A and B are shown apart, each in its own frame.
Chain A
Amino acid sequence: MSETKKFLYLNRKAPYGTIYALESLEVVLIGAAFEQDVSLAFVDDGVFQLTKGQNTKGIGMKDFSPTYRALGDYDVNKLYVEKESLEERGLSLDDLMPLTYEDEDDDYAEKDSIRVVSRAEMAQIMDEQDVILSF
């Protein structure tokens, strides 16, 4: 399979109330082996997936948020977070985990993976994709 497509994983749900976020991340990690052009989008309650300081002790579930930090090592380094979704929930970029990757094309400089975009920009990003997997 030499063809490269633009894949967008669209994350819309909070990390723990349902399993969508965890199983979405599992697809991203498996999909990374296929060397496609991968982006992740976080909208609506999906923005909570990236918040820092997650603590799941009280609910008896595994805190899988550290996995997002590994995405850079899988060449998954375009994480688009919708600005309006953050604001509607009283969040800002400072509330999110710092996620970085090493840019091979820029002498392995450490760069931020998270890009906050407006709702209109998010629509444009979605429009550019070949495949959108919605979770």
Chain B
Amino acid sequence: MKFAIQINEGPYQHQSADSAYQFAKAALEKGHEIFRIFFYHDGVNNGTRLTTPPQDDRHITNRWVELAEKYDLDLVVCVAAAQRRGIADADEAKRNGKDADNIAPKFRISGLGQLIEAGIQSDRLVVFGD
């Protein structure tokens, strides 16, 4: 089956990012396809490479990066939600006159149309949120 995943909550604050990761990993290991993972609301905070959890805790951002590298996943951060919360890639930082970017590798910033397209193209859109 072809899945799309939407994640609406920030890492560590809420289990949504963990549940989505476990779901995605299990689906991929079963041979299912994941068309796209779309990060919205505070979910965009999953995509900052500045994430620095304690050493004995899971590293939620790096976990996404590793899964994306293994399965060539499309990790998309909503641009409007990202701008509000200070998540930027080099282009966004430049466009908005910021002195730094913080997007993690394998993540890309794009528009809400990517979420709608994921809903259209996939057999199931699964939302993880509060």
Interface residues of A, Cβ cutoff 8 Å to B: 1, 3, 5, 7, 19-20, 23, 26-27, 30-31, 33-34, 36, 130-135
Contact = CB atoms under 8 A, between A and B. Distances in A.
Given A33-B113, A133-B6, A133-B127, A26 B120 contact: no
B116 A31 contact: yes
Given A3-B120, A133-B127, A34 B113 contact: yes
Given A20-B41, A135-B8, A36 B127 contact: no
B116 A36 contact: yes
Contacts of A3: 120
Interface residues of B, number: 19
Contacts, number: 52
Contact of A134 (B81, B116, B129): B129
Interface string B116-130: 110111000101011
19 contacts: A1-B117, A1-B120, A1-B121, A3-B120, A5-B119, A5-B120, A7-B119, A19-B41, A23-B40, A23-B80, A23-B81, A27-B115, A30-B111, A30-B112, A31-B113, A31-B115, A133-B115, A134-B129, A135-B129
A130 B116 CA distance: 12
Interface of B: 6, 8, 40-41, 80-81, 111-113, 115-117, 119-121, 125, 127, 129-130
B127 A27 contact: no
Given A30-B112, A34-B113, A133-B6, A23 B41 contact: yes
Contacts of A33: 113
Nearest to A7: B119
